[in-house]
Amino acid sequence: MKNEINKAGSPLEVLVVSTGTANTASVLSAFARLGAKARLSDEPSAIRDADYVVLPGVGDFGAASMRLEQSRMREPLVDRIAEGRSTLAICLGMQLLCDNSEESPGVKGLGVVPAAIGSFSEPLRVPHMGWNRVDVEDPGVLESGCAYFANGYRLASRPPSWSAATTSYGGTFVSAIERGAVLACQFHPELSGAWGEGLLSRWLERGRGQA
Amino acid sequence: MLYPRIIPCLDVRDGRVVKGVRFANLRDAGDPVTCAAAYRDQGADELVLLDVSATPEGRGNALEVVRAVRAVLNIPLTVGGGVGTVDSAVALLDAGADKVALNSAAVADPSLLSKLSRRFGAQCIVLALDAARSEAGPPWEVVTHSGKRRTGKDAEAWARRAAELGAGEILLTSFDRDGTGLGYDLELIQAIANSVRVPIVASGGAKDSRHLAAALEAGASAVLAASILHDGETTVAQLKSKLSLAGVEVRP
């Protein structure tokens, strides 16, 4: 497989945060195809110590946020993102990094990205479901391409100190942000074909130095 | 731009693809994993897997099929057919489905939609709506149990209700056109697309790329294709290049 990054040595270990609401099988199988060893966990200490952590995302902002709180996963996630350690947040995961969301008024996100998540404006079809262009001005781990989305809410503008990819639906919204080894995608890299696999393997490569 | 999706549909019974998929270059066209990988390589934007097993043993096999297909599939996977309870939907999602489609069970108990949607989010829950033109009453009525039961329920009203309850997409099959090759029921697509804000996947009746283009023009966000692909008449890649020549932008 052309995107497989682990040609020799022991497989990279990726810890996928179990948020209880998300269907995580797609994420686990995507990393398996890349030759990495991915497993689910809701152990705060494991999340603190893992070389790579994925915060996946399907579900409801309020329910997922509550689950992170109850399982004491909030602090280790906030810490590792603040320290710039390899962390990938997908879809709702990206939204959870922000301060709050119109989806669940009054519920606090992780607050590591100073922004609020809002809804798409009428009269667009919602959820924003399917493949859309992702445009990156300044390629890093993120590159331009086509990605699969399934989201009802979105980040409207680039948060300070993060580089961003944008996508157009009605207007332009922020479809991914990256800083150091922290990557957050509104789309699903695990469902975005060979392009998505390329992105996941670049993210793994990016973290190799620190892992 | 959001590209329209071209979605092949595999009917699986007791772990095997049925309805005679005929790929020119496949040794085993009955193996769901082989078929899924072939459609992935042709440029399919998503895959729908419909479990048409009639027995509990067959349904058990379906979970195995979902796991095996998931392992090779790097595009979204929707699974439907016989999803009757919250638990059976959860089992399919755990096995690797990205979305589950509910049909007869949602008609019998609409609260299934809201229960699943609250837990997994609307983008995970698809209403499979089979509609037939009716003689009297509403223009289209909901049919269930693979068309065996006519419910008399207004299809447009049911679509609206399901979206309110939390279905994030509607897989709309025209019972009248399914398998005919006469093209999608465009008036039905228009009527449902105008009734709800969620995306519509059109199904039933496609024979060629012009039918696909017409369905998208009528308001569908995606088109399901089964027999034209299975019969080996065409491939997803060929359909996409024809659509593209006709001015419909598709995912490259």
Domain boundaries, chain A: 13-208
Q: In chain B, whose CA is at the least distance from the CA of A25? A: B96
Is B54 in a helix, a strand, or coil? coil
Please determine, for residue A55, whether its predicted confidence score (pLDDT) is greater than 80: yes
Taken in order of first residue, the domains within chain B and their CATH numbers are 5-245 (3.20.20.70)
Of the pLDDT bands very low, low, confident and very high (cuts 50, 70, 90), residue A11 is confident
pLDDT, mean of residues B56-76: 90
Query: How many whole angstroms separate alpha carbon A123 and alpha carbon A126?
Result: 9
Output the pLDDT for position A1: 46
Q: Are the beta carbons of A88 and A53 closer than 8 angstroms?
A: yes
Cross-chain residue pair B70–A58, CB shorter than 8 Å: no
Q: Give B-chain residues touching A170 at CB under 8 angstroms.
A: none
Output the pLDDT for position A4: 58
Please give the structure tokens belonging to residue B225.
């294709």
Nearest Cα residue to B158 out of B101, B99, B110: B110
Q: List pLDDT tens digits, range B72-96.
A: 999 999 999 889 999 999 999 999 9
Residues 6+ positions from A9 with CB-CB distance below 8 Å:
none
Output the pLDDT for position A210: 63
Q: Which CATH superfamily is domain A13-208 in?
A: Class I glutamine amidotransferase (GATase) domain (3.40.50.880)
Question: Please, is B58 exposed, middle or buried when counting C-beta atoms within 10 Å of its C-beta (0-12, 13-18, 19+)?
Answer: middle
Query: How many whole angstroms separate alpha carbon B205 and alpha carbon B211?
Result: 8
**ipTM of the complex in this document:** 0.95
Residue A98 CA, distance from chain mean position: 12
Q: Are the beta carbons of A86 and A210 closer than 8 angstroms?
A: yes
Q: Are the beta carbons of A194 and A165 closer than 8 angstroms?
A: no
Please give the structure tokens belonging to residue B77.
């996977």
Q: List pLDDT tens digits, range A35-46.
A: 999 999 999 999
Cross-chain residue pair B118–A25, CB shorter than 8 Å: no
Q: List pLDDT tens digits, range A162-194.
A: 999 999 999 999 999 999 999 999 999 999 999
Query: How many whole angstroms separate alpha carbon A191 and alpha carbon A176?
Result: 15
pLDDT, mean of residues B200-207: 94
Q: Which of residues 57-96 of B touch A (CB under 8 A)?
A: 67, 70-77, 93-96
CA distance B30 to chain A (A): 23
Is residue B51 annotated as part of the catalytic site, yes or no?
A: no
Residues 6+ positions from B240 with CB-CB distance below 8 Å:
B6, B43, B250, B251
Alpha helices by DSSP H, listed for B15-167, are 32-42, 56-72, 86-95, 104-108, 111-120, 155-165
Bigger pLDDT: B219 vs A21: B219
Output the pLDDT for position B219: 98
Please give the structure tokens belonging to residue B242.
């024809």
Task: Tell me how far apart the 2 most distant CA atoms of chain A are, in Å.
Answer: 52
